[in-house]
Amino acid sequence: MRLKDKVAVITGGASGFGEGMAKRFAEEGARVVVADLNSKGAERVAAEIGEAALPVTADVSIKADIDAMVAAAMERFGRIDIMVNNAGFTHRNQDMLTVDEPTFDLIGSVNMKAIYLTALAVVPIMKEQGGGSIITTASTAGLRPRPGLVWYNASKGWAITATKSMAVELAPQKIRVNCLCPVAGETGMLAQFMGEDTPEKRAQFRASIPLGRLSTPLDVANAALWLASDEAEFITGIALEVDGGRCI
């Protein structure tokens, strides 16, 4: 029960890493807001968790949606201790010059602007409460970028720098800010990362990971759980690699 009496808001909670975090956090005693653009997916995950979960439909690139998400969390649970910026978007693995402008803008809105919007909404609440934890799902792409995902890589590098900057500024208010850097895993974005999802591509990708497999939602959820818990009360401003050795 490492998150007993804590309330967590998790964006992108309807699938993949976000679903893993929502369920793992609930197992450890948290009440969770499962936020996602996919309403049915959020409702499914919340239903599987039970009374400790609240599904919310939200587009993280829209301020009104973020504000409504936070208001729903406060109305239902009365506080927010953990904010997880997990929703993400990528372009397909391709030449950097062939990514169109609308796709580029969407990457910026979901992977970057959303962090700003959630900070505007939850930091005042956490200051009033005397502290909190903000966690962003970044990526190994932000630490060790590779060709084919240039604009996605850049957005995750931005997220890592934003994490460190926020950590320094918010430390006096006892708000810890960290991010996770997972290697690609069994999520809906895997095909885009690889360009195409084939057994050959998967084998090639696994071969680049020293521990010999892709990440799983549980891997990422367990890392997030530790960062969110009081066990990590002296940890802030880190980009935690959850990558099986990929960045070595």
Collapse the DSSP code of 27 into the 3-class scheme (helix H, G, I; strand E, B; otherwise coil) and give the result.
Answer: helix
Q: What is the CATH number of the domain that holds 41?
A: 3.40.50.720
In a domain, residue 209? The reply is yes
How far is residue 59's CA from residue 75's CA, in Å, rounded to a whole number? 19
In a domain, residue 1? The reply is no
What is the average per-residue pLDDT within 190-209? 79
In a domain, residue 95? The reply is yes
pLDDT of residue 11: 98
In a domain, residue 247? The reply is no
pLDDT in tens, 73-92: 999 999 999 999 999 999 99
pLDDT in tens, 2-20: 999 999 999 999 999 999 9
How far is residue 177's CA from residue 238's CA, in Å, rounded to a whole number? 8
What is the average per-residue pLDDT within 128-149? 96
For residue 233, give the DSSP letter.
T
- Cross-strand partners of 102: none
pLDDT of residue 87: 97
Residue 163 has pLDDT above 90, yes or no: yes
pLDDT of residue 188: 67
Which domain range does residue 86 map to? 7-242
In a domain, residue 201? The reply is yes
Query: In this structure, what token pair is assigned to residue 134?
Result: 């903000």
Query: In this structure, what token pair is assigned to residue 4?
Result: 């007993």
**How many domains does the chain fold into?**
1
Task: Give percent of the chain with pLDDT exceeding 70.
Answer: 98
Out of 152, 155, 227, 243, the active site residue is 152
In a domain, residue 152? The reply is yes
Query: In this structure, what token pair is assigned to residue 67?
Result: 């504000």
DSSP element (H, E) containing 189: none
What is the average per-residue pLDDT within 214-226? 96
What is the average per-residue pLDDT within 102-112? 98
Cross-sheet strand order for the sheet of 239-242? 53-57, 31-36, 7-11, 82-85, 132-137, 175-182, 239-242
* Catalytic residue check, 116: no
In a domain, residue 93? The reply is yes
Comparing 5-14, 129-138, 158-167, 203-212, which segment has the lowest mean pLDDT?
A: 203-212
Rg of the chain's alpha carbons, rounded to an integer? 17
